[in-house]
Structures are given as structure tokens and as C-alpha cells.
Structure 1
Amino acid sequence: MLAASPTKDQRAYRSLTWGLVPQVRTIHRSPILYYNQVRDIGNGIIELSWVVHNFSTRDDIVFDFLNAPWGGTRHTSLPHHAISLPDNTLKPRSSFFTPEKPGGTVSLRKTGGWKIASASEDNDSSSLALVFGRDKHLEEEQAKAKRGEPYCQRGGGMLRDFLAHYPQLYDSIWKDWKTRPENSFRNYDVIEMIPNMTLRPGESIWYRSFLVVNQHDKANSIAQSLVDDIDYGLVEFSRSDTPRVPVYLVDSKVVENPPAGTEPATYLFARPVPGSHPVFLMEDTATGQEIISTDLYRFVPSEPLTLGIPQEHPNSEYYNTARGYSLDKNHCRWKRLLGFGLTEKPKENKSRLLSKVLPENIFPTPDTTHLDLWSAASK
């Protein structure tokens, strides 16, 4: 977690997280930032908005499997599931997914763009609907790709919706699930939307979906009305319109609220503008030293590896230069994102290299992973 705060009106909560590789021992360095906002817009509607940014310095680190929204419901609380059809009627989930392939997928275009989970089959039963849309921009995005223009969606999205570990464990060790303690088995219905997006280095994509909390019939009606409001796409932040964030140093420490009259040591961009890279504040928990760096793995133990991948392998360079990282042995406190610096010198005269404006005990000597970036010129 690199940032989190409520909005001024207290109706939304925003967070910024670094997306970790799930294996604690890995050769893969994660270059993904997730911005998320959860907003209560009334009438039981919860808006979910994401921006995902790929800050990899390698051209070949392309992400082509995004499964968000991903989540689910407690099976003992909301056991009745239905999925909408294009004609806006509902059919039981079992009509889409058979017991032989409960974890299969169905095209979003074969649905009405939402699903609903309910406590019972009554019209007034407590329910939760998820609105995921019907690939609103698919043809437009595919046309962009064909013309060689920037695009984010290469194929149709898919829906996966199933009771975890059904039927295998429900026919054996969990066959008494209706009477056993609710916390003694997985007890989870998984809902997963796979939008088939592609995220290349230096790009950001955004996505919006909705949850609806209400009685069954009302939730169903509201969910149907929100399908056209589902949206997504590439997003680019211009340098001219992006705010600058000051970085203050007091007694060689980064501070958010400096004494009056303190001049910023430098400025960074508030958003991932083109040609930028994120800059982080981190602490070595073994020594208490704080540094400013672009390398989130600075205080993660690593070791060289000899994988011996043949040169003719298309990814031999990636694997043969990889290091093994032990995230479970890290001695780092990832404090916050400070902003974004530029990888190349901009036209603005007031832009300076971070190594020239920050002391070496705060900004270590640059190397292949700790990059020396250009600051944003103050406005």
C-alpha cells in the first residue's frame, strides 16, 4: 500500500498499491501500480474505478491478462446466482456453466452485462449485483489495433462465475456444508471478469464497474440501467495539465508538512505522464535509513542465477540476466509514491536531475535499477 485516503465528501475511498508477484521467491520484478477508487453514489450503487500503470523499463514486459473485477460472495449468505441475457432476462448460473466445467468462461456478449447473487429466490431477498458490461469498445479497439494505433483491448471479454472447489470437494469432504460451521470450508462463490486487455510499458488503462446492493428486483433493475455506464480504455496524462508535487527535505528527511517558508528540494509529476517513471520513498528497516528511489526491490535480498537458457530461446536474455528475489526476507518499508520523474531531459530549463538536487544519503548513486530521472519544472 503506497497511499490511501477518503475523498473530501467522505463518499469515496482511494488507494494506490504496488502489485506484487504472488511468489515470494521469484525472478520477476513487478512494474505495476494499481489506483483504485470505491465510491458510494447512492441508491445502493457502489462505483469501482481502476487505473493500472505499467512502469517497466523493458519493452517486452507486456501484461495481457487482467482479471478485474475479481471477487465473490459467501456461499452460505448469497447462495442463489443468476446471470443476465442480452434480452435483459435472468437465467440461473447453472445454465451457463455445467458441473463438468464449473470454472469455464462465457463471452460477455452472450450476457446482458451483469449478474446477481441473492439470499433466496424471493423478489425482495437481499442481493448483490455486479455490473461488468458487454465489451462496449471492442470493435473500436480492434480497428485501432489493425490501423497500428494505440489500443487496449484485443479480444472479447469473458466471464467466469463458479462455486470454489465445486463439485470435487462438495461431493467429498464438504458434502455436509449446509450444516457444518461456515468458516470450516472455502465457502466462496467466485466471480471474475476477464476483459482481454493489453498493457504495454509506459501505458495506463482505466476501467469502471459497479456493485449494486438492494432487494433482488430493485438490484436487478438498477444493474440493467448501469450497463451502458461501464467504460474502459487507455488513459494518457499530459505534462501541461498534470499537477507538480513538491518534495521537501528537513534535516535530510522527506517531510509532507514542512515548516513555513521551506523551499522544495525538487518537484515531480503527480501522474504517470508519457516518458516518466515512478519515484518512491522507502525505509531500510534494518538501519532506519530512508531513501528516495525508483527501485522497489532496493531492500529485497537477491542473488545471481545460472539458468542456462539456450541463446536461441526468444526470452534467453531475460532469463539469463535474471536475479532471484526473496520477498519474504525483505527489510523494506515501502512508505509512499512521491511522484513521477522523466527519463529524458525535457525542454523546460528548470528541470534538474534528481542526483543533482538530492543529497546522496537520500538519493543513492544511480545504477541499472535505481534510475536518475529529471524533475518536473515548477509552475
Structure 2
Amino acid sequence: MTDTTMVRDAGALLAQAREELWRAVCERDEFAAGRAVFAALDEGADAEDVLLDVIAAVQHKVGAEWAADRFTVAQEHAATAIHERIIAAMAHRTPAAPPSATAATVTVACVDGEWHALPARLLAEVLRHRGHRVDFLGAQVPTQHLMAHLHRTAPAVVALSSSIPTRLPTTHTAITAVQAVGIPVLAGGAAFGADGRYARLLGADAWAPDARAAAGLLARGLTRPSPGAVRQTVEDLPHLSDQEYTLVARGKRRLVRGTLAGLEERLPAMRAYTDAQRERTAEDVAHIVDFLACALYTDDSALFTGFLDWTGGILEARRVPAQVLDPGLALLQEELKDFPRALDFLSLGRAALRRRGTRPPAPGPDDDV
């Protein structure tokens, strides 16, 4: 058998496993999902390929289906739970590789407030299969608890994962604390941007777009920072001196209350909202304030406009026009009239929504495509 034939057979094996796993998670059948994965392993598929090219690929498709309103939140959570249990079963079924010459002890953790643990879990398993010793701390690790763990275990590297950009200020705190004890930080996850720009902005020692790239970086080695060294100063983030981030973040409750009161006054239909509808509206406004604050922290308007554009797409998939967000943005402009950067970001956000209004509507779940 030629190498080309082997590659083609491996690709076909992974494609079949993806198809069977996708069908199983759609039917919420954990046992069928396990059979799909373990059959591929039994037929010679590499464990790392199964983790990333089967499980991670199907999970990505689950997220895309939710965004398109073809999966409910409950279906998405069920699929994630199935994947987590299969990964755990794989960990006991496929032995870890023996330590290599470049093996390191790595702590993998999600930053405080980050509940999306599956990307970090996938990284932990890939590193284990590459011969590293891994402590996987899971989701939502408060920085003080992370630091207590590091003082006890002294790993060579900390890999921090975050999927939601609103966690970036907290991530910055964690990065600084870890580096202060002389441990380099490898950042990964969607929160850091497709090109890793926010990892660089916040002073991480390295950034990787995926688990394979992260493993490659570890194989080449990361330079340990000097304990107690100050990696960043206020001069590195001069925009924070205007206090806009701090004031918006601390004033979140007031901003949400003021915006909701203004919406009721300007949109009489809101007065007939149920308690559940009011709660969802308050959550939507709170998300807008969170992303605005994060954009102020990074001084990147694209973070805010990108969130609004993404949210507009989610709404339109549910046959709700993205422009429903505009009155809330207009009211926030009034609330933040003395905040020049915030006003600028809000104006750019409203313009992004207007541009969405010129696009043809996305097909709904029951439309013919």
C-alpha cells in the first residue's frame, strides 16, 4: 500500500467517523456516538486526529447549526455533554505517549468566568498524547485558585483558554499574575481574535490558533519570564488612562436600568412584555454593555462592531431584524454622552447594523435553499 493510499484511507476513515458522530449527536445517542469514535480508533485512526478532525469538527458544526437556528440551546448542550464524555472515555482507553525529550508539565485552564471548557479539554488531551504531563483544571478557574495551584505544582507552562472576548480584562489579570511567578503563558481560544491580536495586546508569551499549533510551540519551547518582572506598564495600554473602561464596567447596572427605562418610554409595545421577555431584553442590553466595555479595554472598535454584526446574524436567522438593537445603542449614546471613545464605538456599531439592513435576509430553517 502506498503512502498516498494510506493517507486517503485515513481521510476516509475520519470522514466516516464524522458523519456517524454527527448523526449520533443529532439523535442525542451517546452510545452510537461512542461507537463511531471507538470504531475509528480500532481501525487505526490516530487519537489526535479523532479528537481534532472528528470530535472538534462536529462540535464546530453544532455551533454553526445553533447560530443558524437549526439547533436549540438544549441540543447544543446535549451534544457538548456527549463529546465531553467520549473524550473522557478516550483518555482511559488510549494510553498517553511516553515523555519526549521536549516534554513539559503544562497546566491547562479556562480563565475566570469562562464556561466553554471543551476547547481547553481538547488541548489537554492533545498535549497528553504528545507526551506532556498535563493538569487540566477545567472551566471557570478564578485567578487566585489558579495561582495557588501553580505555587504547589510549578509547571513549565500555563495554557489559558477563553472563548468569549468579554473575559479579556480578567484574562489580562491572570496572564500578569502567572508571569509574575516566572511561568510563561500560552493563550488560545476565540476570545483572543482570529490572528491572536488580543493575546499580544495583553502580553501573553505565545498564542496558538489551535491545539496542533499549541503543541508545536511547546515542542520548540517557551522562554520563562523572570519572577517578579513587570511585563507590562500603563504605557503599554495608554488608552486606559481615560477611565472610560472602568466607569462603563462599574456603571453596568445603571446603564442597563437606564436603557431599559428609555426603551419602555420610546417603544410602547415593551410595556406589554412578560417578565421573561423583560429578562431577555435586560440580558441583551447587558451583553452590549459588556462588549462595549471590553472594546474600550482593548481600544478596538472592531471587537464591538464584530459582536453586533454577529448578533445581528443570530437575530436574522430567527427572523428578527438586526435593527431592533439600534434603539438600545441610541439610548446608550445618551447615557454615555461624556465618553468620547464609547460614543465613537456606539456610532460605529449603529453603522454596522445599518449595513446589515442592506443585505438580503438569510434563509430560515424552514426555507428552501
TM-score by length of 2: 0.21
Provide TM-score, normalisation by structure 1.
0.21
Structure possessing the higher relative contact order (Cα contacts under 8 Å, 6 or more residues apart): 1
Instruction: Report the structure, 1 or 2, having the larger helix content.
Output: 2
Q: Report the structure number with the largest CA radius of gyration.
A: 1
